[in-house]
Structure 1
Amino acid sequence: MEIMQVLHMNKGEGETSYAKNSSVQRKIISVANSIIEEAVIDILCKNFPESMGIADLGCSSGPNTLIVISEIMYIVHATSRQMGHPLPEFRVCLNDLPSNDFNYIFESLPAFYQKLKDERGAGFEHCFISGVPGSFYGRLFPSRSLHFVHSSSSLHWLSQVPPELNSKAAIPLNKGKIYISKTSQFCVLDAYSSQFQKDFSLFLKSRSEEMVPGGRMVLSFMGRRSTDPTAAESCYQWELLAEALMSMAAEGLVEEEKIDSFNAPYYAPCPEELQYEVQKEGSFIIDRMEAFEIDWDGGASNENSFESLSRGQRVAKTIRAVVESMIECHFGRDIMDELFRRYSEIVEDHLSKNRTKYIDLVISFIKKGTN
C-alpha cells in the first residue's frame, strides 16, 4: 500500500466526507489555541518580522482547514497593534499529501478573505496563501523561510506501514489485528516504534532546516500517557475496527487473509518517546507539552444532523471519514457501508460500558539558535 496515494480524508461535502465529520479534529484544534497564541506572541516579541512565514502541515480540507490560520493572523493583528508595528505580510503554506482535496481549500479562500475583512477591517491585504503538496517526512520549504509551523491530527500517521509487518511469513505477525493490540507480539510493537522514531526524527530534521532560529512550532496529535503502547487509550479504536472486520470474515464477507495483511500506518507515541527523539535530533527545545482527553465523538456538536446520531454512529462516521480511503483500497468499496454499520454498533456497546478517551498530545517547540 503506497501511503502517499491512498491516505487522504474523504473528499467533497457528502454525508461521509471529512468536511461533515471532523468535529473531533475541530475539538483538538480548539484545545491547543492558548498554546498557539503563546508561541506566536513569543515570535513577535523577540524579533518582529516584516514578512512572516507560516506553514500548516497535514492541513486536510473542510471547514477546519483555515481555522488555525485565521487565529494566528488575529493574534498577529492584535499583538502588532499593541506593539505599534505595522502588520507583517503573511506567507501561508498549506501542506498535505498530493491526494488531498486541495480544491475544497482553494474554493473556500474568497470567503476566508472576506471574513478577515469583515471582522478585522483593513490590514490583511498582504496575505499570500499557497498549497504545498508532499510528505512532511522530508523537505518542503526553502531554508530559513518559516517563523511558525503548525500541525494538528497528522503526525500520528506514519510514512509507511512498518516493513517488518509486510513479510510473507506462513503465520502473519499481527494475525487478526490491524494495529497494535494487547495480543500483539513484541516484534510488532518494536516495528511500529522503530518506524515512528525514523519518521519523527526526519520530520524534525526537515523542519529545522526550514525554520528561522528562534522560530516556533506547535504540534497536536494522537498519543498516549502510558509508556505501554498496548494501552487502550492509544489503540482501542483500531481494536474495535478489527473486531468489526473479523465478524465479517466469520460470515464469509471478508477474507481473513485480507485482514491479516492489513496494518494501519499509524502510531500514538508517549511523551517519553517524543522527548527522547527531540533530544537526539538536537535542533529544538520543548517549551511545553500537554495531554488532553478528547471524547471519541468530539463531544457536543452544533451540527443537528450529526448530533441526532448515537455516539457509536458519530464515532463511526468520524473514523470512516479518515480511514476509508485506506480500507477501501485494501478490501474494496463493496463492504464499506456494512463495515462501518457494524463498527458503530460495536463502538456503541463499548462506550456504554467504558470511559474511553483519545489522548491528544500538544507540544510547543523552539528552534535553537539566534539570528
Structure 2
Amino acid sequence: MHCLWIMQKTVILKVKPFVEEAITDLYCKTLPGKCFKIADLGCSSGPNTLYLISEIIEAIGSKCQKLGHGPPSFQVFLNDLPGNDFNTIFKSIPSFIENLKKNKGDEFIGPCFIAGMPGSFFGRLFPPETLNFVHSSYSLHFLSKVPLGIENNKANIYIAPMSPPSVPKAYLAQFESDFTIFLSSRSEEITSGGRMVITMIGKRNSDPFSEDCWDFWELLAQSFRDMVSQVRYLIKISSTKKYISSTLGSSLYWTLFIK
C-alpha cells in the first residue's frame, strides 16, 4: 500500500502544473463568487487525499494575492465509495486546515469547508451547476462492474496474452459505458465555464494485448494461480490425513486439522 501511495503522489506531482493552470485560468476568467466549490472524485483515504486540495487552495490564494483580491471561501467535496475510510479523513481535517493557515496565513487562505460525498461517480452526485472544479486521479480506469462476456477468460484476472478476442472487446464496451455516464453526470454538475482534470492509466498503443496493458495484472494473476495450486495441494494432503486418521480410529486430529 505504501508503494501505491508513492506512485499516486508521483502522478499528482506530474499533473500539478496542469491543475494549477486550469485552476488559475478558471478563476481569472470567471472569478467565482464568494465560494469556490471543488470535488475530488475517488479520493481514497491516505497521505495523498488532501494533498492536491492544499495545492488548489494555495494556487488560488497566490492568484488572488497577485490580483489584489481577498481569497474566496472553499467548499471541498471528497468522494469515494461508501466503504472508504472517511472517518480517518475527517480526523485529519482540523490539522490540515491549521497547517494551511500556519504556512500561508489567514489572509492568504480563505475559509475552507470539507465534506464527504460517498457514492459512485458513475452517476449523479451533486445538484445541477454545483461545482467549479472537478479532479480525479487514478480512479476512472476502474470499472463500475465486471464486464459481461468474460466467462471464458480462464485463469486470468484481466486481459492477458492468451485471452480470447472477445475479452478486450467486453472490457472496452464496459469502459465506454462507464465513461459516458461519468462525463454526462459531470456535465450536469459543473458550472458554466468550470474545469475538470482527470488522470488515469492509459496505453501506449491501440493493441489490447500489448505488454503495458497486461504486464502488472499478469503478475497478480500468477500469484493467485500459485495460491490456488497450493490450496489444491493442501486439500489433497488433508484428504490423505483424514483417511489415515479415520483408519486409526481418531477423529480428533482431523477435526483440529480442518480448523
Q: Normalising by structure 1, what TM-score? A: 0.60
Aligned to 2:103: 119
Aligned to 1:231: 210
Q: Distance in 1 between matches of 2:5 and 2:142?
A: 16
Q: Distance in 1 between matches of 2:148 and 2:8?
A: 29
Larger radius of gyration: 2
Aligned to 2:45: 61
Specify whether residues 120 and 191 from structure 1 end up closer, same or farther in structure 2 by C-alpha distance, changes over 3 A only: same
Q: Distance in 1 between matches of 2:45 and 2:10?
A: 16
After TM superposition, give the deviation of residue 91 of structure 1 in Å. Answer: 0.8
Q: Distance in 2 between matches of 1:254 and 1:31?
A: 46
String of CA shifts for 1:33-54, please: whole Å, max 9, x gaps: 0010110011011111121110
Q: Could you list the runs of 5+ residues in structure 2 that have no partner in the other structure?
A: 235-259
**3-state SS of the aligned residue for 1:178?**
coil
**3-state SS of the aligned residue for 1:150?**
strand
Matched residue type, 2:5: S
Q: Distance in 2 between matches of 1:122 and 1:149?
A: 25
- Indicate the larger mover: 134-143 or 120-129: 120-129
Identity %: 47
Q: Which has the higher helix share?
A: 2
Which contiguous aligned blocks of 4+ residues in structure 1 show a shift greater than 6 angstroms?
Answer: none
Q: Within the alignment, does 1:186 sit opposite 2:165 as a pair?
A: yes
Aligned to 1:15: none
Aligned to 2:252: none
After TM superposition, give the deviation of residue 254 of structure 1 in Å. Answer: 8.6
After TM superposition, give the deviation of residue 20 of structure 1 in Å. Answer: 7.6
- Indicate the larger mover: 242-251 or 45-54: 242-251
Structure with bigger RCO (C-alpha 8 Å, 6+ apart): 1
Q: Normalising by structure 2, what TM-score? A: 0.86
User: RMSD of the alignment, in Å?
Assistant: 1.6
**3-state SS of the aligned residue for 2:74?**
strand
Instruction: Determine if contact 2:64/2:70 at 8 Å carries over to the other structure.
Output: yes
After TM superposition, give the deviation of residue 21 of structure 1 in Å. Answer: 4.9
Matched residue type, 1:238: W
**3-state SS of the aligned residue for 1:181?**
coil
Matched residue type, 1:150: H
Q: Could you list the runs of 5+ residues in structure 1 that have no partner in the other structure?
A: 1-17, 166-171, 256-371
Aligned to 1:222: 201
Aligned to 1:204: 183
Q: Distance in 2 between matches of 1:58 and 1:37?
A: 19
Aligned to 1:248: 227
Aligned to 2:155: 176
Q: Distance in 2 between matches of 1:153 and 1:78?
A: 27
Aligned to 2:55: 71
